[in-house]
Structure 1
Amino acid sequence: MNRYELLCFNLLGERMRKKKEKYLELHGSLISARHTIPFETYLATATITSVIAGVLAAVVTGILSYIFQIPHMITYSGSLPVVVYEYADLLLIAGTLMLTFLSLFIVGGMTYLLFLMYPPIMAGERRRKIDASLPHAINYITAMSTAGITPAEIFRLLGESPVYGESAAEARYIAREIDVFGRDLIDALRVVSTITPSDRLKEFLQGAMGAISSGSNLTEYFKLKANQYAIENRQQQKAFLETLGLISESYVTALVAGTLFLVILQSVMSMLSGGGDPIFLYVIIYLIMPFGSAMFLVMIDSMTPEV
């Protein structure tokens, strides 16, 4: 927590703490995202930052509006009430004030909304990374359990490994609950399964809790989950390859053959009509093709599973 966040907490921290029940989803997202800033500090920082951003935007907008006389650029064709013409000299001041207040509320509101959206986005990113690394982490857990290492030590060693990414980070929290807070393994698994953003990891930890509580063979449970996730990964990769093939066919049809057809059609029509305006060709070449290709790249990147 830096000095600015500490200042925001000192100003509004106690007041924001009373709003925790109103922002339960935000509180849960902050925990799932493993955000280092407490809820009260984060909400106080969001509030003060939004006010500062709104005031700065309002000041800049007001100055620019008055200097360039933006309200005078607005024209209206039609009849207006007589009172409007009587106060026409105040149009610049009234318009500037209106734009100033609009900037204050729009920029301030958008800034506050971005602060509220950021923790769920980060929690979703962590969920994706955990789900991607979890099958490999379970294989590691299975191998260690087969070697006769105790479950608590397995999660401790997994947390120390830099290979397994966010799954290792969750294992470090399990080890922290045991080593720092003195919980037993079942309570540590219960705590982490409650706050983890990954449903797959939550299911795995709850199953491990059930196996430990019932005295079942934990190694066999780990082997079962490792086989399950291996099969799910193969199915996911197969579905992704099929989807990728469909996307590639769509790309060739829409942006290769389709644009080529439009270029030829426009060229033939230009020759027949005798017109020489190539604006449509410019739109195809410099607008449709680049933005269409970028759209396909973004779509493929968002769909590609991590390995």
Structure 2
Amino acid sequence: MAQGEAESDLDLTITETIQGLVESYRHMSMPLERYLSLILLPSVAFFVLSSIAALLLDLPLSIRAPIPLLGFLAMASAIFYPKIVLSQRKRELNNRFHLLITHMTVLATTKIDRMEVFRTLAEEDEYGELAMEMHRIVQLVDTWNLSLDDACRRRAKQVPSRAVSDFFDRLAYTLGAGQGLDDYLLTEQEQIIQHYSTVYQSTLDSLEVMKDLYLSMILSMTFALVFAVVLPVLTGTNPTMTVSAVIVMFVFVQSGFYLAIRSMSPYDPVWFHPEEYPSPIEERLDKSMAAGVGLSLLLAFVTLGGMLGVSPVTLNDLLFMFESVPLPLYAVVPITPMLIPGIVFRQEEQRIKGRDEEFPNFIRALGATEGAKQSTTGMVLRTLRKKDFGPLTDNIDDLYKRLNMRIEPTSAWRFFTADCRSYLIQTFSEMYLIGREMGGSPKQLGELISENMNQVLQLRQKRKQATTTLIGLLYGMTAASTFAFFIGLQVVNILADMSLNLSTGSRLDAASLINTSVYNIPLIEFLLIIIIMFSAMLSALMIRTVDGGHYANTYLHFVVLAWIGAVTGTFTKWLVSQFLAI
């Protein structure tokens, strides 16, 4: 009975997979016949030819075996490429959907024509694929003379995202029934935000599962690498080849998990990067980056130049406390100055997050006061700027000064968002500005924007908790893996010294039991350092991806993880030598 149910579930899964693949072919921008003739059929032919070549060529099996695998990879890529593209498109639609609905609601409450709402959103390049959907609806209405509800109903059948499709369906029915666009969107706000929260939370839950899988795989690869270092002592095989093979597997496993985490992480950027409106923060960030890169290049020259004898100062001169500088330090010392931009960017990011926390209170107070006093933003800010809004207070004061200097309101708000450097503040400030320019109610706009932003900030708190857990996991795994690597290496190193000290004239030849002559200890240690540095880099990228912050956060975690690996490796070698020294 249980076996029959399992087979039924398997058949259902296979059927759903095939149906999803067929559906992805229907949503391709390229005509199906053209894709089949130009891409799919040639890839199948390449797979067949590569399989025939593997059978007919007179070459060793180790060379012939990868040939059909290459053909199979090309064929599989061609088959599943439409599915991948469709998934990416669906992800782009879902990522900014809640922002688009908020923006649409703001425009609808201004009582402008409902087609102008769609035309305005179609020109917002920031919304990407969603803006294209708005543009397609506008084209159906303007070019093909469809009604707005018929255009929405038609696009609902073709859009790949279930959330967007359901929204268009409900919108078409509501507009056809005669309800106003603003009334419908105001009632939809709670449902859209709830859907976004559900998707966001499910993504974080998926990341938790990925962390558990990643921990299991890395522990397995760590044991494999330790065995690859130690077992050649007994077998006599080439340890350099076995260690290199396991390292390649290690790289592929970590890279695969990084790509998986990157594809699963929710889209919620922290930073806003203005192009037309410079910010004084830019100079500080640029100086920190220049200092970090410059000092890193200088230390790299000292390290390599000292080894090659072309630098007057060597690493031994800088680290004079060591009689002989450990090899791991040669890798981590040159990258240490990258802590400078990492710390500076992180400090600025904390300020941005602090401004985000205060902005909902500010925009709600601004809208309520403007609505009550029936005055301009500049007049309201005269008293509002004296209140304490934490890290946002200075930016509010600057906004008041610019408006008081008769700077055009749009430019003043753009400078305000450029100084804040926050993606959320820029997005919601733009909505408030446009809503006010089009005659919307400031009190309603302030409450709407404040409520939506608070929901996003609550989700960010959960994301922060997931990031903190990931940081602890990766830091601990780096120390544990490095400890295991260097225990195996130092044990082999001590066994090699023991075999050399044993008398060759004894009745039992030690070389017949302990094969230490096949080892090149410095080369293996160098390979271990490479995998530690690579692991530190990918771990830092994972943290930055899950955190959603600036790319410069990678530098901070990369340097810290690399130093954890270097210090753990050096300490492990010393510790094992103390316990096992003879």
Instruction: Tell me how far 1:61 sits from its aligned partner.
Output: 5.7
Aligned to 2:474: 251
Contact in 2 for aligned 1:263/1:281 (Cα 8 Å): no
CA contact (8 A) 1:53 1:107 kept: no
The correspondence of residues 1-307 of structure 1 with structure 2, limited to 5 A, is: 25-26=20-21, 28-32=23-27, 35-54=28-47, 57=50, 65=57, 69-71=58-60, 103=67, 107-226=70-189, 228-229=192-193, 230=452, 233-255=456-478, 257-262=479-484, 265-266=487-488, 269=491, 273=495, 274=497, 278=521, 281-287=525-531, 289-297=532-540, 299-300=542-543, 303=546
Distance 1:124 1:304 in 2: 22
| Equivalent residues of 1:142, 1:222 under 8 A apart | yes
Checking the alignment, whether the CA contact within 8 Å between 1:130 and 1:167 is kept in structure 2 is yes
Kindly indicate whether the alpha-carbon contact (under 8 Å) linking 1:155 and 1:175 is maintained by their aligned counterparts in 2: yes
Determine if contact 1:130/1:166 at 8 Å carries over to the other structure. yes
Give the Cα separation in 1 of the matches to 2:113 and 2:26: 28
Counterpart residue type for residue 262 of structure 1 = A
- Identical positions, percent: 20
Cα distance in 2 between the residues matched to 1:303 and 1:124: 20
Q: Is the 8 A contact 1:145 1:219 kept in 2?
A: yes
Contact 1:31-1:195 at 8 Å conserved across structures: no
Between stretches 126-135 and 114-123, larger displacement belongs to: 126-135
Which one is further off, 171-180 or 268-277? 268-277
Greater RCO, CA 8 A, separation 6+: 2
Task: State the AA in 2 paired with 1:167.
Answer: L
Equivalent residue for 2:196? none
Conserved? CA contact 1:129–1:306, under 8 Å: no
Measured after TM superposition, the shift of residue 292 of structure 1 is: 2.9
Distance in 2, Cα, partners of 1:162 & 1:175: 15
Contact in 2 for aligned 1:134/1:167 (Cα 8 Å): yes
Deviation of 1:199 after TM superposition, in Å, equals: 2.4
The aligned amino acid for 2:24 is: S
The total of aligned residue pairs comes to: 251
Alpha-carbon distance between aligned partners in 2 of 1:201 and 1:296, rounded to the nearest angstrom: 34
Quote the offset at 1:122 in angstroms: 1.2
Q: Distance in 1 between matches of 2:94 and 2:32?
A: 26
SS at match of 1:183: coil
8 Å contact kept, 2:47–2:75: no
Q: Tell whether the 8 Å contact from 2:471 to 2:543 is kept in structure 1 after alignment.
A: no
Residues of 2 paired with 1:248 and 1:282: CA distance?
Answer: 26
> C-alpha deviations, 1:101-145, integer Å up to 9, x for none?
x95x65554333212211111111122222222222222211221
Cα deviations by residue, 1:43-102 (Å, 9 ceiling, x for unpaired): 222333214534664687689x4xxx425x79xxxxxxxxxxxxxxxxxxxxx9xx69x9
Unaligned runs of 5+ in 2: 1-17, 194-451, 499-515, 551-582
Q: In 1, distance between residues paired with 2:21 and 2:490?
A: 58
The 3 A distance-change label for structure 1 pair 38 and 235 is farther
Pairwise CA distance, 1:172? 1.1
Separation (CA, whole Å) in 2 of partners of 1:302 and 1:43: 36
* 8 A contact 1:266–1:280 mirrored in 2: no
Cα distance in 1 for residues equivalent to 2:487 and 2:464: 34
Q: CA deviation at 1:197?
A: 2.1
RMSD value over aligned CA atoms?
Answer: 3.7
Q: Residues 111, 269 of structure 1: CA spacing in aligned structure 2 closer, same or farther, 3 A cutoff?
A: closer
**In the TM superposition, what is the alpha-carbon distance from 1:223 to its structure 2 partner?**
3.1
Flag structure 1 segments of 5+ consecutive residues without an equivalent: 1-22, 75-95
In the aligned structure 1, how far is the partner of 2:54 from the partner of 2:47?
10
> Are the structure 2 counterparts of residues 156 and 41 from structure 1 closer, same or farther at C-alpha, using a change threshold of 3 Å?
same
8 Å Cα contact 2:93-2:130 kept in structure 1: yes
How far apart, CA to CA, are the structure 1 residues paired with 2:46 and 2:22? 23
CA distance, structure 2, for counterparts of residue 180 and residue 225 of structure 1: 29
Contact 2:467 2:547 in 1 (8 A): no
Q: Give distance in 1, aligned partners of 2:97 and 2:117.
A: 14
- Take 1:208 and 1:305, find their aligned partners in 2: how far apart are those partners? 32
Q: Tell whether the 8 Å contact from 2:46 to 2:71 is kept in structure 1 after alignment.
A: yes
